[in-house]
Structures are given as C-alpha cells and as structure tokens.
Amino acid sequence: MKSIILSSASNYLLPLLLLFSVFVLLRGHYLPGGGFIGGLIASIAFILHAFANGLKKTRYLLRIHPGFLIPVGLTVAILSAVAPMIFADLPLLTGLWYPDEIPVIGKIGSALFFDTGVYLVVVGVSLTIIFTISETV
C-alpha cells in the first residue's frame, strides 16, 4: 500500500509505540502488563512500519534478523528463572530484588529480567512470522 498519510504517520508512531511498549514492560511487574503485552505492542509498531514503508525499509531499520531475538530472550528468561537456585539457594522462579530503588524504573528484580526475556521472544517470534508471510506474498 502506498499512502503518503500512512507512511508519514508510521514514521511518527514507530518511536511512540516503542516507547509505550517499554513503559508497559517496566510497569509489568507491579501492575497489569509486562513482557508479553509490551512485545506485542513493539511488534505492531514494526508491522505498521512495514505495511506503510515496505518490508525492505523495516528490515533495514531493525538491522538484525528478528529470529535472533528468540534465543537471546529465552536465555535471559531462563537465567532469571534459575538465578534464585544458583545464587540464593531458593526455589525456581523465586523473586530476587535489589534493595534500593532506581529513580525512573523503581525496584529491579528477577521478574523484570524474566519479562524482558519474554518481551524479546514475543517480538522475535511475531516479527519472524509476519515477515516470513509478507515475503511469500
């Protein structure tokens, strides 16, 4: 689709949607939201950009293949799940928290790292699927 309005709007919406997805990711371990919803919002931002500007420009914007995010995200999620067993002799997926608050983010814990891993996996899987379908059409 070649629409000047959609193309112009997508260039402004991409950074806003990515910023909103990071906001949803960061508030996810306190309130509803988290890695899955944040990853879907980030994927929608890139899909909108691909529909408006073409898949070639969106792939250039990403600079890496989205499939690379899947093992990276799985590694981050698994390490955050296993960290309590290794470092604190606690059960799997027990929350470990840094005692001091970080000014913008709040308290940092293993739940944030698990959500970040889920975020990367969701972005990688959904963009890989959509980009593969778009290439074959």
Q: Residue 94 CB: number of other CB atoms within 10 A?
A: 13
Residue 97: strand pairing partners: 109
pLDDT band per the 50, 70, 90 thresholds, residue 132: very high
Counted domains in the chain: 1
The dihedral over CA atoms of 105, 108, 113, 116, expressed in degrees to the nearest 10, equals -10
Q: Specify the pLDDT at position 14.
A: 95
Average pLDDT of span 92-99: 87
- pLDDT tens per residue, range 103-112: 877 778 888 8
Q: Specify the pLDDT at position 1.
A: 60
Q: Specify the pLDDT at position 44.
A: 97
In terms of residue numbers, what domain contains 121? Answer: 4-136
**Nearest one of 39, 61, 53, 60 to 129, comparing CA atoms:** 39
What is the model's pTM? 0.91
